[in-house]
Amino acid sequence: MTALKKIGFVGTGIMGSAMAGHLIDAGFELSVYNRTKSKAQSLIDRGARWCDTVGECAAGQDVVISIVGYPKDVEQIYLGAGGIVDCAKSGAYIVDMTTSSPILAEKIFAAAQAKNLHAVDAPVTGGDVGAKNATLTILVGGEKNSFDALQPVFAAMGKNIVYEGSAGAGQKTKACNQIAIAGTLAGVCEAFAYAKASGLDVEKVYSAISTGAAGSFQMTGVARKGLDGDFNPGFMIRHFGKDLAIGSETGTAYGASLPILSMVLHEVKKLEQSGDGNLGTQALLKYYGVI
């Protein structure tokens, strides 16, 4: 067993609850905090210690992990008064697994260094299924020594654990992932929009192209659900919009030209405005008029 024994976990939603559960299974001593206590109850029932504040959850832990909603939430829980940087013990590892801003990750890293804390950004891919099955891909930015020390913790939650580079590199890689998804999913939706408009049978087109060079997870694992009328979220449109906005904003800061990202972000915002923000990303089929 690793020398890292005690973990504080902040954010026990759909992803966080499953991930934290795997840490209990791996034998770590877990403390938890969530804004809504009921969402942490299943972990408490399994022996996790409930904390009334973020600071209490961070205090005295070897590792503090967070997976929350938006960059503003990340900034508050790490850099706010009584937050993780204020309350974590000297030498602790603080790990944000939220999809957030790489610029914010660098800011947290600098603040952590000043307090002798080891900050790591480690966003994940694989969705709720990956979280439940402990098969997440974990994209890690920070010091290599921190990455190495945290291997047993990451291994309890994921399978493909990749060191991407210095602080912010994990978040930058996650932005690359979301940008690639955006273009792929939009292309799939546009293909079926063309099929429908030209008088083809969309199902026959799907059968013809889904197993060839045009095939992808976005076609067979995401768009397929929408074609079947299932819009339950594996990943919500509104969260996808948040991720794409991060890519757009930081891409501008880095001087990157991202026209496809800009187009899909516009489409996602339109879906949110029409009340579809809580549907899965397969709802992009609705924007294109396929469904």
Contacts of 231-234 spanning 24+ positions with Cβ under 8 A = 231/276, 231/279, 231/280, 231/282, 231/283, 232/279, 232/280, 233/278, 233/279, 233/280, 233/281, 234/127, 234/128, 234/129, 234/280, 234/281
* Catalytically annotated residue among 107, 172, 174, 225: 174
DSSP 11-32: --SHHHHHHHHHHHHTT-EEEE
- For the chain, the residue count is 291
Is 174 one of the catalytic residues? yes
Place of tokens 């291997």: 151
Residue 126's CB: how many other CB atoms inside 10 A? Answer: 20
Taking the mean position of all CA atoms in its chain, how far away is CA 40?
19
Calculate the dihedral angle through the C-alpha atoms of 238, 243, 248, 251, rounding to the nearest 10 degrees: 180
CA distance 227 to 239: 21
* 214's tokens: 């045009």
Q: Which residues are catalytic?
A: 174
